[in-house]
Structure 1
Amino acid sequence: MKIRLRGNSIRYRLDKVDMELLEATGKAESITHIGASALHFCLRGKDIADPVIKMEHDGVHLLLPLSRLAAWYAPDQVGFELVLPNADGSELTILVEKDFKCLTDRNEDDSQAFDNPMAGKNC
């Protein structure tokens, strides 16, 4: 799973392995070790009506309605956006997307990424 933080937004990009885990177990996660500590991001499907995000100890936990995830598993669905209110009146934008293979070489292993629909097309 790739995570991008920018301002009041979090972007989750899941590859094929992440998607399979999420669909099979209801959970996908990413852990980054920083010295003796770890930063943990977790997406979890729950039988809830509305999405919830919370920060606990060393991690960010995004709980998503099972119905939202079921629709997203379809091959033609790239992702979805959520806008959640913060306690201070601001909003947090969350993007959850399938991770596509890069169109240019970035010297990264994207063997588990989804085929990029723009591959072979002129921009």
Structure 2
Amino acid sequence: MKIRIKGNSVRYRLTRSEVETFCNTGHFAETTEFNGRTFTYAVKVSDTKAHMDAEFVDDTITLIVPATTCKGWYENEVVGFEHTLTLNNGNELFLLVEKDFICMDRTTEDQSDNYPNPRAM
């Protein structure tokens, strides 16, 4: 899983196996280690949420996706889910969870588990 943060925008990209794990277990997480601390970013399913949500607790960013939204996601053509969350201070936080496609440009990154890029067809 990759994370991209820019301003008040958080985007996660998941490979095929990560999407399948997320859909089957209701949770997927990655960690990045620092000296003395670990940063975690996760996505989880909620049976009670009506729209995507996010939380930042104990060095962990968790994007929460309603169960009805992501049901069967690993089997269908839906690319991802997005929601703009209004924060308590009135600012907005844009959330996006999407499938990770093979890049069209040259990259040294292992893309063997990425989804085929629709633009390449």
Q: In 1, Cα distance between the equivalents of 2:117 and 2:85? A: 29
**2:11–2:97 CA contact under 8 A, matched in 1:** yes
Query: Offset of 1:72 from its aligned partner?
Result: 3.6
CA shift digits 1:20-52 (9 cap, x unpaired): 110111111111112221110111112113332
Aligned residue runs from structure 1 range 65-80, under 5 A = 65-70=66-71, 72-80=73-81
Query: Offset of 1:117 from its aligned partner?
Result: 0.5
Q: In 2, Cα distance between the equivalents of 1:22 and 1:66? A: 11
Residue matched to 1:2: 2
State the Cα RMSD in Å. Answer: 1.4
* Structure 2 residue matching 1:24: 3-state secondary structure: helix
Residue matched to 2:39: 39
Count, aligned residues? 120
Q: List structure 1 runs of 4+ shifted beyond 2 angstroms.
A: 49-52, 71-75
Q: In 1, Cα distance between the equivalents of 2:69 and 2:108? A: 33
**2:16–2:74 CA contact under 8 A, matched in 1:** no
Q: In 1, Cα distance between the equivalents of 2:51 and 2:27? A: 17
Structure 2 residues without counterparts, runs of 5 or longer: none
Query: Offset of 1:118 from its aligned partner?
Result: 0.8
Residue matched to 2:19: 19
Structure 1 residues without counterparts, runs of 5 or longer: none
* Structure 2 residue matching 1:111: 3-state secondary structure: coil
Aligned residue runs from structure 1 range 90-105, under 5 A = 90-105=91-106
Q: In 2, Cα distance between the equivalents of 1:23 and 1:71? A: 7
Of 75-84 and 93-102, more deviation after overlay is shown by 75-84
Q: In 2, Cα distance between the equivalents of 1:26 and 1:41? A: 14
